A = this chain, B = another copy of it.
Amino acid sequence: MGELDAVLARIDAEAPAALDRLFHLLRIRSISADPAYAAECQACADWHAADLASIGFEAQARSTAGHPIVVGHHRAGAGPSALFYGHYDVQPVDPLDLWEHDPFEPRIETRADGTKVIRARGAADDKGQLMTFVEACRAWKAVTGSLPIPVTILLEGEEESGGANLPGFLAANADELRADIGLICDTNMWDARTPAITTMLRGLVGEEFIVTAADRDLHSGFYGMAAANPNAIVARILADLRDSEGRVTLPSFYDGVPELDPALRAQWEALPFDPAAFLGTVGLSVPAGEKGRSVLEMTWSRPTCEVNGMGGGYQGEGFKTVIPSKSSAKVSFRLVFDQDPHKVREAFRAFVRARVPADCKVEFLDHGAGRAIRFPIDAPAFRQARQALSDEWGREAFFIGGGGSIPVTHMLKTSLGMDVILAGFGLEDDRIHSPNEKYDLDCFLKGTRSWARVLHALAS
């Protein structure tokens, strides 16, 4: 039996222990967006540093102005070096009443067809995914005493809350962290049987704005129509952001957004993708975006504008005839190709300011920004990784576009000069960021085996 086969066998034999470790990790409530959970974020980082050290990494949870960043080095090994990135923080869990169980008490559920899922907040995004790579390293070390290539593992704790401290950390530690290739496990497969490497990622701009009108809540019977209503102002701004064709109305928003290359368009059109089924799985049927664009274009290669949150006035039971003092909204833009996040942010703020009456105030909160990115799919590392995935899953892996944004990918490219292989084992129905998040048990086990193969392939 060759080394790789021995490692794969070890992974299979170690699966129960690997699951125990993942469950321990999933019990830690590392919600980075909510300051109430700062201690749990620290505990999560500490756990990772100790776990990596136990495998033989030189690992530490390093302090930042926010949550810690875990860095572990395994410098031995020949061939090109790799930097693996994951994030140990998770999304908030509200609305809690839609969860069928405690989001931080993971459990295995068996579906009607006999397949199993791991259900918990973070099961897929990103604790389950990042542990596929850690477990692959553990197996290589156990079997061979080393890794096929030098590996650094970096685990962030603020991916779900703006990631304000990562850029500075990467810049300050560039020489230590730079590697020949980046590896990230935070994306989806094409479907449950077909692996994929995401080679196009959209960028992101996150903005929040808060409109203040009167200096107190007012009775709508006394002040109605006479006093500015911040709910109406916010609603008007949000409505104005899209035109009747579904296009975003910010001036210059589409600068740097070319039509899709005809060859890539043809490849996407040939993909076995059913838009009706895609929307049907969440109870919808009418594509809501730009008229005349396919759903794959909307979610992979076109920019978006979404209202992720809004609120003002009385939202409790019953009714209260109030004109609130404040109202606010959280808006995100997904960016593609050469859109400049900073120009989009400035255009948005100007757009909002122009719609706030002279006697009202508006303030803005910056919730992060990152450019869109594309990788060279014909470079050797991409070909090697694709073959490794195809070998594990018995189907040719696809090169696909990605709708979500992983800002670190752009940072690795621009700050450290690295290309990144985005190979993840998530599935469309994982409900990440939603109640009842899950990760398929098969994805966890075959994902671990996939990384063992990728490490082997990159060394050749």
Q: Which A residues are within 8 Å of any B CB, using their own CB?
A: 32-35, 91-92, 94-95, 98, 160-162, 188, 202, 204, 206, 208, 213-229, 231-232, 234-236, 238-240, 242, 246, 275, 278-279, 282-290, 295, 298-299, 302, 304-324, 327-330, 332, 334, 357-360, 367-368, 402-405, 428, 431-436
Contacts and interface: CB of A to CB of B under 8 A. Distances in A.
A282 B216 contact: yes
Nearest to A162: B319
Contacts of A219: 404, 432-434
A225 to B, nearest CB: 3
Chain copies in complex: 2
Nearest to A434: B217
Nearest to A228: B288
Give the interface centre of A225, A329, A359 by most chain B CB atoms within 10 Å.
A225
Contacts of A222: 188, 299, 403-404, 428
Contacts of A289: 224-226
Contacts of A275: 226
A94 B324 CA distance: 11
A304 B224 contact: yes
Contacts of A308: 220, 231, 313-314, 319-324
A330 B287 CA distance: 27
B307 A226 contact: no
Contacts of A314: 92, 94, 308-309, 330
Given A217-B433, A316-B34, A229 B279 contact: no
Given A282-B218, A309-B320, A319-B330, A238 B231 contact: yes
A240 B214 CA distance: 23
A221 B404 contact: yes
Contact of A316 (B33, B231, B315): B33
B317 A284 contact: no
A213 B306 CA distance: 14
B286 A358 contact: yes
A404 to B, nearest CB: 3
Given A94-B314, A308-B313, A321-B404, 12 more contacts: A33-B316, A206-B319, A216-B282, A226-B298, A231-B329, A232-B242, A235-B310, A239-B240, A288-B357, A306-B321, A310-B327, A321-B433
Contacts of A279: 226-227, 359
Contact of A221 (B98, B208, B221, B334): B334
A236 B306 CA distance: 13
B359 A318 contact: no
B224 A299 contact: yes
Contacts of A368: 319
25 contacts: A94-B314, A95-B217, A160-B320, A204-B221, A204-B321, A206-B319, A220-B304, A221-B405, A225-B287, A225-B305, A229-B307, A235-B235, A236-B239, A238-B239, A307-B312, A308-B324, A309-B312, A309-B314, A310-B311, A311-B312, A313-B330, A319-B332, A320-B330, A320-B433, A321-B433
A434 to B, nearest CB: 4
